[in-house]
Amino acid sequence: MSIPELLADASINKATFDKYAGIEGDKTTLTKKELTALLKNEVIGEAPCTEEINGFMHMLDQNGDDRVDYREFVTILASFRQICG
Ligand SMILES: [Ca+2]
């Protein structure tokens, strides 16, 4: 399954988002490193490859600041559920 399909199935809530967003720096946004950890532990079960992460980060990061805030995250999650669900 692709990351969008896996994410559409995964139950990622605000608490999960916050847990990973708090690993480093700003506690309200995910960096690429935090996003990698979230995907690895909660979604895929193994480390995603750099290409996957870069592509996924690009999808999520709507305002191009290299961080993913919760609003961006849920927006994408909702669209995955529409596409894959
Ligand atoms: Ca952003």
pLDDT < 50 stretches in the chain = none
When divided into structural domains, the chain yields a total of 1
Gyration radius (Cα) of the chain, Å:
12
Q: Show the tokens assigned to 29.
A: 């946004």
Burial class for 39, CB neighbours closer than 10 Å (0-12, 13-18, 19+)? buried
Q: Show the tokens assigned to 65.
A: 């600041």
Q: Report the CATH number that the domain containing residue 49 is assigned in CATH.
A: 1.10.238.10
What is the per-residue pLDDT for 85? Answer: 62
CA of 14 to the centre of ligand 1 (A): 16
CA of 70 to the centre of ligand 1 (A): 9
CA of 83 to the centre of ligand 1 (A): 22
Give residue 58's identity as a one-letter amino acid code.
H
Which residues make up the environment of ion ligand 1, defined by Cβ < 5 Å?
A: 61, 63, 65, 67
CB 72 within 8 A of CB 31: no
What is the per-residue pLDDT for 84? Answer: 72
CA of 84 to the centre of ligand 1 (A): 23
CB 43 within 8 A of CB 5: no
Domain holding 66, by residue range, is: 3-84
